[in-house]
Structure 1
């Protein structure tokens, strides 16, 4: 196995184990075993577990960007852009349950608190399309004038719960239901 192949196997194993057992339930030795490499091999690619988790988060975030931007109607009204982003994000999560489970854990852990705070407050570069959309919507008086973090909560909190319930098998989110759910999220933030 070449160098990039080993790293890829480590990343895949880490993603699977963290999704299954959480950050603390996935020690480096278990990740190495699942990846089929020696425990010391991981440290050739990642300084420590925290660095590995952070890099994995950044890689997953980079995977989501193309899904969100594909066909993004940048010149359309706020509502249409919100519908695009919401349905794209929910479909991505439904189609990538391991990514979703990792990201959900990351954002609700000490690892992700700083990242989330910086993203919401605009102190971290990256996919700012949500923040930009909300700020523009508030300025145009199309979206409720609430703190940005609450707009994220109202718009995407339900979306995350829907993705989780779909992944757990509580509901089957077909395309028509996805669209209806994102419309309901819109109703939560529109003026």
Structure 2
């Protein structure tokens, strides 16, 4: 593998861990360099600033989630099946890359994001919002602002998965059990007649 790519990957992974654990503002470039096992100057060969690094990460992780939502989306299925598809894709990300979900949750503030990051974030929100509005028109989903519904559901999903990652106790940490709990809980939050 190309050594340049290796160093860039090390930097990105180190930044993701630190941003997810302690946030953008509390993370310094020297900390990222130490975690990545590179010199601080090396970071600036790949990214013009800490903000540029954050935006590259955000675009990569939101892009992954957006593509996962679209892949094999059950357009012709009932609304519950569509919503479960979205929850299952978030579950997949939680299983593969928990830091990425935490990072997305804490770094979607406009002050940190450039135009490209905002655009891809808006694409993801628009995709989900369209399905929410279709469900509302069919009388299946509660009459609530789609972005509020997304926030409530995403918050519940993250809360459930924090048990799996040892941030809370008293709940099963098995991924399959959590997936089942997340599916039902997130559906119950938005459905007019929860099943």
TM range (shorter): 0.7 to 0.9
Alignment of 1:127-166 (within 5 A): 128-166=126-164
Written as runs of structure 1 = structure 2, the 5 A alignment for 1:24-173 is 24-107=25-108, 110-111=111-112, 124-126=122-124, 128-168=126-166, 170=169, 171=171, 172-173=173-174
Task: List runs of 5+ in structure 2 lacking aligned partners.
Answer: none
**Does the aligned pair in 2 maintain the 1:94–1:167 contact within 8 Å?**
no
With normalisation by structure 2, the TM-score equals 0.81
Give the conservation status (yes or no) of the 8 Å contact 1:94–1:166: no
92-101 or 140-149: bigger deviation: 92-101
Alignment check: 8 A CA contact 1:73 1:81 kept: yes
Judged with a 3 Å threshold, the aligned counterparts in structure 2 of structure 1 residues 95 and 111 are, in CA distance, closer, same or farther, namely same
Report the 3-state secondary structure (helix = DSSP H, G, I; strand = E; otherwise coil) of the residue aligned with 1:124: helix
Question: Please, what is the CA RMSD of the aligned residues?
Answer: 2.8
Equivalenced residue count is 187
Structure 2 vs 1, CA of residues 6 and 181 (structure 1 numbering), >3 Å: closer, same or farther?
Answer: closer
Q: Distance in 2 between matches of 1:130 and 1:58?
A: 17
Question: 1:148 Cα deviation (Å)?
Answer: 1.6
Output the TM-score relative to the length of structure 1.
0.82
**Secondary structure at 1:143 match in 2:** coil
Question: Deviation of residue 144 (structure 1)?
Answer: 1.2
CA distance in 2 between partners of 1:123 and 1:70 (Å): 17
Q: Secondary structure at the match of 2:107?
A: helix
Aligned CA distance change for structure 1 residues 62 and 28 (closer, same or farther; 3 Å): same
User: In the alignment, is residue 4 of structure 1 matched against residue 5 of structure 2?
Assistant: yes
Per-residue deviation, 1:93: 1.2
Unaligned runs of 5+ in 1: none
